[in-house]
Structures are given as structure tokens and as C-alpha cells.
Chains A and B, each alone.
Chain A
Amino acid sequence: KAGVTQTPRYLIKTRGQQVTLSCSPISGHRSVSWYQQTPGQGLQFLFEYFSETQRNKGNFPGRFSGRQFSNSRSEMNVSTLELGDSALYLCASSFGDRGYGYTFGSGTRLTVV
């Protein structure tokens, strides 16, 4: 059974650029969530999509956005990158019902220089 696939695994971008990260959930999972992980802040919730609709959003600026496609694949976009956006970005998928666990991908390591 294939797990959650995130691409690319590593990315280096310059301040001011934008970036798009991709996530393919486990087959049959309808919910995709995105998290940012940094040494100082730990795992912080960005947003969640369920059946192409954003169902929940964390406390991040509008530069962070996402979307979900009809096949449940999801992308997240960060515009006007700042040095502080350097982090491990994790995607997690779930059936989408409350109480169900989330399966995480290996993440995309974004470095902003």
C-alpha cells in the first residue's frame, strides 16, 4: 500500500520567490492537511482540505495557500518567500472523519536563502 508522497524532497529558493509543494495522499483518503515544522515552533497546522474544500485554516499569513484536486492530490503554495519560511513542510492524509489518525509523508525540506 503506497503511503503519502510529497515532492520534491528538498528545495532551495531565494527570498522573494514563490514555491509550490505537492502531496499525493493514500488512495481512498479524502482529507489532506499541511503542517510546518521548525526547531523553534514544532509542528504547526497550516490548513486542511476535504473533497476540494478548505475545511480548516491555521494562523499563517495569506502568503500561504493551498488547494486540493478532484483526485485528492493537494498542492500548497508560498509566495514572496521569507528566510523564516525555511522549514520541513509535512503533508498528512486521512479518511477525513473526526477521530481518525493522519498518515504523514516524509516532507519537503524548504530552504530560503
Chain B
Amino acid sequence: EDQVTQSPEALRLQEGESSSLNCSYTVSGLRGLFWYRQDPGKGPEFLFTLYSAGEEKEKERLKATLTKKESFLHITAPKPEDSATYLCAVQAGDYKLSFGAGTTVTVRA
């Protein structure tokens, strides 16, 4: 069974304090690894898809990287509006997404 573990569970940052979120996974035949952002009371918002080890993608202050066993979401110089829960999900041989529990990021001004 596919397993996705995210750490830490919660992260409190000062504005401008860069940090990284971890997503480790066990999956048979990775088709894609996805990062989503979720604000309270809303559905997850798509951020990135990574397909193979060594791949990197960037969007504003966020950068996602992928190895054979884990993915990192780096947040550079975060702002209060980056506060959210960040979810990692993997897609394997079937079509469903298996999600981690998420990392809740709080950025203080």
C-alpha cells in the first residue's frame, strides 16, 4: 500500500525565515508526486507536479524537489500570506492520489 509521510506536522516561521517541508513516500511505480496548498475551509490548490528524481520546480517563493524516496518543499523568505497547510500526494499505478497528513505553516509578520 502506498504511504506518504510529511514532516514536520506544524511549522511556525518568522517572516523572511526560510525553511523546508519534507514528504517521504513508499509507492510502487510512481507516476507523479503532487504538492497542494490548502487554506482553512477550502479545497486543496494545486502547486506542483514532479515526475522523476532530480526534477525541480519553482513558483514565487516555493521550490519543490524530488528524489527517489522523498520530496522537499522549500519556502524562501516566506510572507504571512504563505500561511497554509501544505499537502503532498503520490499517484501510483492506479489513478488515485494518496495524501500525507500535511504540514501546517504559520508565518508571523
* Contact pattern, A 54-94, Cβ under 8 Å of B = 1, otherwise 0: 01101000000000000000000000000000000010100
Asked if B96 and A98 make an inter-chain contact with CB atoms under 8 angstroms apart, the answer reads no
Question: What separation, in Å, do the CA atoms of A58 and B1 have in the docked complex?
Answer: 12
Chain B residues packing against A (C-beta within 8 Å): 31-32, 34, 36, 41-46, 49, 51, 87, 89, 91, 93-102
Taking the complex as formed, is A33 at the interface, i.e. its CB lies under 8 A from any CB of chain B? yes
Residues of B within 8 A of A42 (CB): 99-102
Q: Identify 6 residue pairs between A and B in the complex whose beta-carbon atoms are under 8 Å apart, listed by A's number.
A: A43-B97, A56-B95, A58-B96, A104-B46, A107-B43, A109-B41
Question: What separation, in Å, do the CA atoms of A100 and B96 have in the docked complex?
Answer: 11
Most buried by A among B43, B94, B101: B43
Q: How many residues of A contact B (CB 8 A)?
A: 28
Question: What separation, in Å, do the CA atoms of A51 and B89 have in the docked complex?
Answer: 24
Taking the complex as formed, is A8 at the interface, i.e. its CB lies under 8 A from any CB of chain B? no
Question: What separation, in Å, do the CA atoms of A56 and B2 have in the docked complex?
Answer: 15
Residues of B within 8 A of A96 (CB): 95
Residues of A within 8 A of B45 (CB): 104
**Closest CB of chain B to A44's CB: distance in Å?**
8
Taking the complex as formed, is A105 at the interface, i.e. its CB lies under 8 A from any CB of chain B? yes
Name the 10 nearest CB pairs between A and B, nearest first. Answer: A104-B43, A43-B99, A99-B32, A98-B31, A45-B96, A99-B31, A42-B101, A104-B44, A106-B43, A101-B49
Asked if B43 and A102 make an inter-chain contact with CB atoms under 8 angstroms apart, the answer reads no
Taking the complex as formed, is A31 at the interface, i.e. its CB lies under 8 A from any CB of chain B? yes
Give the residue of B31, B42, B51, B97 whose beta carbon is less than 8 angstroms from that of A45.
B97
Residues of B within 8 A of A105 (CB): 43
Asked if A33 and B97 make an inter-chain contact with CB atoms under 8 angstroms apart, the answer reads yes
**Closest CB of chain B to A58's CB: distance in Å?**
7
**Closest CB of chain A to B99's CB: distance in Å?**
4
Residues of A within 8 A of B101 (CB): 42
Asked if B46 and A56 make an inter-chain contact with CB atoms under 8 angstroms apart, the answer reads no
